[in-house]
Amino acid sequence: MGDEVCGVCRKKEVEWTCSVCGIPLCAECVREVMKENPGQRVLGVLTSPLKSGMKKQKVCEKCMKEVDFVD
């Protein structure tokens, strides 16, 4: 991604962006949230063995504290 720097620490090169607020993040500042994908379960059983029942989101520390990730 060139010479962009992290929007949190302002030191390292950008690798991801926050999926909530869109701020650029380096490897040290990114946080990963695992959410259950509600469309992949019926009565508590996975509907497809090919698709994951979990969804990963990369977010910043601020959004991790402030946003409710429950659907």
Quick: pLDDT tens for 9-56: 999 999 999 999 999 999 999 999 988 776 667 776 777 777 777 788
Domain ranges of the chain: 16-66
Query: Is the Cβ–Cβ distance between 62 and 33 less than 8 Å?
Result: no
Stated pTM of the model: 0.70
Amino acid at 55: K
Q: Does residue 1 have a pLDDT over 70?
A: no
Q: How far separated are the first and last CA of the chain, in Å rounded?
A: 32
Distance (Å, whole) CA 10 – CA 25: 9
